[in-house]
A and B are shown apart, each in its own frame.
Chain A
Amino acid sequence: MTNTTHLIRDARILGGERADILLRGGRIEAIGPGLAADGAQVVDAAGAVALPGLVDLHTHLREPGREDAETVATGSRSAAMGGYTAVFAMANTDPVADTAGVVEQVWRLGREAGHCDVHPVGAVTRGLGGEHLAELGAMADSAAGVRVFSDDGMCVSDALLMRRALEYVKAFDGVVAQHAQEPRLTEGAQMNEGVVSDRLGLAGWPAVAEEAVIARDCLLAEHVGSRLHICHVSTKGSVQIIRWAKSRGCDVTAEVTPHHLLLTDDLAESYDPIYKVNPPLRTAEDVEALREGLADGTIDVVATDHAPHPSEAKETEWCHAAMGMLGLETALSVVQHTMVDTGLLDWAGVARRMSETPARIGRLTGQGRPLAVGEPANVTLYDTSAERVVDAAAMASKSMNSPFNGMTLPGRVAATFLRGVPTVLDGKIQ
């Protein structure tokens, strides 16, 4: 596999200078104008933007346990189609990824699928129960080399347990990724609490339930000198708290999802649960604050929270429907639409937030590297001038619950290379 040699013609490196890129032996061998093909397979980028392969810190691959929604194989194909070369697979599977055995299983399935690197996230607590620490060290020492720990879907709401987890993972340079949701304030919660939820008669998920946990955890992380990652920040207040915590020197990083950068809670007026997600879609004011926070670095990364569900989990009453949205195959387009086309970020900024920084947070050494000679040949070619109507039925994911279905979005992933091997060429899975 690593003998594959490709010459990418006429790419715009991070959206800047036009150059050819020669990939050989899994590495970037040369970058420059007018490189000789010299037996390499030529891929005409035609001015597409070249980015380092994207890294998703927050993906639900559903295997083991919910293979009807997604598998490691279909989810990693979906990731490749979205321009990703590495994903972190969340632990809320069945069984939960809370032992070395389960994380190694997911890790192995990822290697067998081969469409992107799959890094399992380990559960913080046994069975996501929020009561006893899982064997974090065993997962860290396993073949999967787990560094990111999260009870995502559930909040580690017990302050003492959270403190201990933050402290404990320092021994192997791990990070706790918190799904910030105060459980008592969100019992039965269905959507953002506000004007729309009050009108629709749907139980509210107040912003304070997220913000209070983030504030507490930033202070805890600062106190014990640990690093902390906040999953899917969704409110203006959360952005302000994280900005404040960083200004105090707290070692906190944060992510925002593409859907929280674009969609708002008034979409719930259709009662179509395609818009039901946790944390919920918020208001236009929150969206604006999230975009600003991502632009100024308060929010470090874009992570998809790709959450596949079978159609029967969505074609139902709102309060009975599953929470979550597909994200991998539309993330880059949504980021272009909300951040680049609006002038908030350039492509180097996108590369930092969707590849370099997520790789650094997850302690990956072979991902999120610069596009430079000698670096691993993880490259995404993205045609910014394309336009497409999103078609969920045509996605590589096994599920179809995309809230962007039917929307016209800019851009298209033309090719993805994983250590020099094309996983996507001409927009098609290889």
Chain B
Amino acid sequence: MRHLLSAGDLTLDEATLVLDTAKELAQVGGRSVKKLPTLRGRTVVNLFYEDSTRTRISFEAAAKRMSADVINFSAKGSSVSKGESLKDTALTLQAMGADGVVIRHSASGAAHRLAEWVDGAVVNAGDGTHEHPTQALLDAYTIRERMGRLDGLRVAVVGDIRHSRVARSNVLLLNTLGAEVTLVAPPTLLPVSVRTWPCSVSYDLDEVLPKSDVVMMLRVQAERMNAAFFPTAREYSRRYGLDGDRFARMPDHAIVMHPGPMIRGMEISAEVADSPRSTIVEQVANGVSVRMAVLYLLLSGSGSGTGN
């Protein structure tokens, strides 16, 4: 593994190794000594072109717990906001000798482009409407912790699939790990070629819920309404929102996930979000362990200072 750009790049063995490594690191992190010397002398740059405090903090905590030097390079107030191109920024990072670059960007493919311009390992922390592979890894980790396995599990992913990098990464990774994914959305929020994806598709949430072990609710942005993807927030909520009545139709063992930040009331009701079968809080904690594992596997083998 040289970079982590797409969840589809991971083989079953590699994905399993990330999850197993995350488990070990979580156990270490659970002890009182929170810092491991693993990445001492390595430099990790957090290059965030989009506001995402949660993801940035998660990566920062992961790198620091392994004693890496962390440089936060946020677009606001830096040369980036003054119009410096991604390529020029990449050349700067290259000159600094960054061993790893974690990039969040509004443009699909930005992480791929960056990987061509720097020698260090690139981790895609979300690129446009393309992918968010560490989110998928932490979701898979969370499912495995709760359910004990992934193989053969039935996972429903509900919401704005078309514009969701979380959905893309999850479909690829969960398929690799042997889960059966069903995407649920109004047809307007599904990609036109979704039938070629390695998953099932349904327009009917009520029909899918009783047959699901995991229900993953995605964020639906209000601006989609203005672009005629659906008539009103109320109608969306009525047809695709997860409220108490729908929650009751799920099997007793089934869990509810949400990558956050969530809109309570629209896609998920407060009582469901706060239920013990909701994993929303532990997804955040698991995120740090999974990102530690990713950084460890990408960076621990490399020579320090100059990248690989």
A residues bordering B, Cβ < 8 Å?
Answer: 190, 193-195, 197-204, 206, 270-272, 312, 315-320
Which residues of A have CB within 8 Å of B78? none
C-alpha gap A251/B178 in the complex (Å) = 57
> Nearest Cβ distance between residue A112 and chain B, in whole angstroms?
35
Which residues of A have CB within 8 Å of B196? 195, 198
CB-CB contacts below 8 Å: B116-153 with A: 127-131
Total interface residues on B, CB under 8 Å, equals 23
Q: Pull 18 A–B residue pairs with CB atoms less than 8 Å apart, ordered by A.
A: A193-B192, A194-B193, A198-B194, A201-B129, A201-B131, A202-B108, A202-B109, A202-B128, A202-B129, A271-B108, A312-B85, A316-B85, A316-B113, A317-B107, A317-B109, A318-B113, A319-B107, A320-B107
B residues bordering A, Cβ < 8 Å?
Answer: 85-87, 105, 107-110, 112-113, 127-131, 165, 168, 191-194, 196-197
Q: How many inter-chain contacts with C-beta < 8 Å in the A-B complex?
A: 62
Query: Which among A199, A206, A316 has the greatest number of chain B C-beta atoms within 10 A?
Result: A199
**Do A319 and B192 have beta carbons less than 8 Å apart?**
no
Cross-interface CB contact of B109 among A195, A206, A318, cutoff 8 Å: A318
C-alpha gap A202/B109 in the complex (Å) = 9
**Do B109 and A316 have beta carbons less than 8 Å apart?**
no
Q: A193-B192, A201-B165, A270-B112 are in contact. Are A316 and B131 (CB under 8 A)?
A: no
Instruction: Find the A residue at minimum CB distance from B164.
Output: A201
**Do A200 and B105 have beta carbons less than 8 Å apart?**
no
Which residues of B have CB within 8 Å of A194? 192-193
**Do B86 and A316 have beta carbons less than 8 Å apart?**
yes
Instruction: Find the A residue at minimum CB distance from B190.
Output: A198
Q: A270-B112, A271-B113 are in contact. Are A319 and B193 (CB under 8 A)?
A: no
Instruction: Find the B residue at minimum CB distance from A315.
Output: B87
**Do A201 and B168 have beta carbons less than 8 Å apart?**
yes
> Nearest Cβ distance between residue B79 and chain A, in whole angstroms?
15
Query: Which among B86, B108, B194, B196 has the greatest number of chain A C-beta atoms within 10 A?
Result: B108
Cross-interface CB contact of B192 among A198, A270, A272, A320, cutoff 8 Å: A198
10 shortest A-B CB distances, which residue pairs? A271-B109, A201-B130, A198-B191, A317-B107, A201-B129, A201-B108, A271-B112, A195-B193, A198-B193, A319-B107
Instruction: Find the B residue at minimum CB distance from A195.
Output: B193
Which residues of A have CB within 8 Å of B87? 315-316
**Do B130 and A204 have beta carbons less than 8 Å apart?**
no
> Nearest Cβ distance between residue A75 and chain B, in whole angstroms?
26
Which residues of B have CB within 8 Å of A315? 85, 87
**Do A201 and B85 have beta carbons less than 8 Å apart?**
no
Which residues of B have CB within 8 Å of A312? 85
**Do A319 and B194 have beta carbons less than 8 Å apart?**
no
C-alpha gap A197/B105 in the complex (Å) = 18
Instruction: Find the A residue at minimum CB distance from B172.
Output: A199
Instruction: Find the A residue at minimum CB distance from B162.
Output: A198
Cross-interface CB contact of A318 among B108, B165, B193, B194, cutoff 8 Å: B108
> Nearest Cβ distance between residue A312 and chain B, in whole angstroms?
7
Which residues of A have CB within 8 Å of B193? 194-195, 198
Which residues of B have CB within 8 Å of A201? 108-109, 127-131, 165, 168
Cross-interface CB contact of A317 among B113, B131, B168, cutoff 8 Å: B113
**Do B165 and A317 have beta carbons less than 8 Å apart?**
no
C-alpha gap A200/B165 in the complex (Å) = 10
Which residues of A have CB within 8 Å of B165? 201
